[in-house]
Amino acid sequence: MSNQHQKDRRIEPIFKLQTPVLFAHRGGAWEAPESTVMGFKHALEKAQADVLELDVQLTEDGEFIVWHGPDLDNVKILEQSDRPAERKKRKIHHFKWRELEPGKAWVADPEVKLLDEKDIDLANVNMIEDRCLLSLSDFLKKFPDVPLNIEMKKTFKRKINESDRRGLRDNIRAFSEILARDIGNRTIVVVSGYDDFIDEFRDLNGSKFSTGLSAQEQLLLRIIDLDMTNRALETTHVELLSSKRTIEKVRRLGGSTFVFLTAFGPLKAIDKADDGPEKEQIFKILDRGVDGIMTDRPQRVRKLIDEWIKR
């Protein structure tokens, strides 16, 4: 290993892991059925991922589900058409948890997502337990001690009832209570694409959990110094948003920088190949000194990280 790489491979301050930290996005959404026991086991056992990345959505009745969604077009659901285009209910918040609980909903292989919605037929999805949708509580029990990066999705804003779940703050309180009951010995980073979600979560939890920067904080970081203790800049792979200068600033302020190799809006994923231009692009990102990378293809990217370390 070169002296430069020895220097770059610091101990990341949030998860306390040697960099670069490998995050399995949705458990490796393009290598296994996403957000399932099968997918998360693949990430840990075959890809040797360091951190599991997951999203949390709310069902109609307020159950917290491990799912990116909100669409369920790649999920076979008991008593629903195997052709999602024919379903009247297609999003997770259209369903009560009793309609999706284990034994009633199974996630298809990743290739289904490449099909046009009118061509999707889920009749042959293997209805085994490891493909079932997971509640957040069940997930935490099945994967104790594994470091986590959890994203709160838009359904956190939904009104569930008139008493204790009237909107965002109540839902974040219920979510926080689940995290507080977690028996795992682990670090959890909580993030969201919505600034008010981050504000509410911090207001309720203080410094108990590490959090990602809000969009406003990411903009402020460009012009002023922020206290980055227990904070992570989670952003895309483009150099404009995760330049070497930005990464060095985040480090100086006590935080971490994690970048997504996945597609984001008009940006294309750069983890589809393990050779050629994409490989060199990933190496350049690692050379910039990022603390971690998030990928839908953790097994493939693990090989690239190992190669980069040896270079």
Residue 162: partners with Cβ closer than 8 Å, 6 or more residues away: none
Whole domain around residue 234: which residue ranges?
A: 3-59+148-310
List the beta strands (DSSP E) in the chain. Answer: 21-25, 51-58, 64-66, 75-77, 105-107, 134-135, 148-152, 188-192, 210-212, 231-236, 256-260, 292-295
pLDDT band at 304 (very low <50, low <70, confident <90, very high): very high
Domain-located, residue 130: no
Domain of 16: which CATH number? 3.20.20.190
- Alpha-carbon span 224 to 239, nearest angstrom: 19
Query: Which of 166, 183, 165 is CA-nearest to residue 174?
Result: 165
Domain-located, residue 274: yes
Q: Give the total number of structural domains in the chain.
A: 1
Residue 219's Cβ-count burial label (10 Å; 0-12, 13-18, 19+) is: exposed
Read off the tokens for 211. 């959090």
Residue 6: partners with Cβ closer than 8 Å, 6 or more residues away: none
Domain-located, residue 90: no
Q: Taking 70 as the threshold, does the pLDDT of residue 73 lie above it?
A: yes
Domain-located, residue 142: no
Count the Cβ atoms, other than its own, within 10 Å of residue 244: 13
> What's the confidence (pLDDT) of residue 140?
98
Domain-located, residue 134: no
**Interval 99-126: pLDDT, tens:** 999 999 999 999 999 999 999 999 999 9
Residue 49: partners with Cβ closer than 8 Å, 6 or more residues away: 22, 23, 24, 28, 43, 298, 302
Q: Taking 50 as the threshold, does the pLDDT of residue 302 lie above it?
A: yes
Query: Which of 12, 18, 21 is CA-nearest to residue 52?
Result: 21
pLDDT band at 1 (very low <50, low <70, confident <90, very high): very low
What value, to the nearest 5°, has the Cα angle with vertex 100 and ends 99 and 101? 105
Domain-located, residue 160: yes
Instruction: Name the least confident of 165-174, 196-205, 229-238, 264-273.
Output: 264-273
**Interval 40-55: pLDDT, tens:** 999 999 999 999 999 9
Domain-located, residue 55: yes
> What's the confidence (pLDDT) of residue 102?
95
| Alpha carbon separation from 304 to 280, 283, 300, 311 (Å, rounded) | 10, 8, 7, 10
Please give the model's pTM, rounded to 2 decimal places: 0.95
Q: Taking 70 as the threshold, does the pLDDT of residue 227 lie above it?
A: yes
Domain-located, residue 143: no
List the beta strands (DSSP E) in 59-213. Answer: 64-66, 75-77, 105-107, 134-135, 148-152, 188-192, 210-212
Task: State the chain's mean pLDDT as an integer.
Answer: 95
> What's the confidence (pLDDT) of residue 275?
83
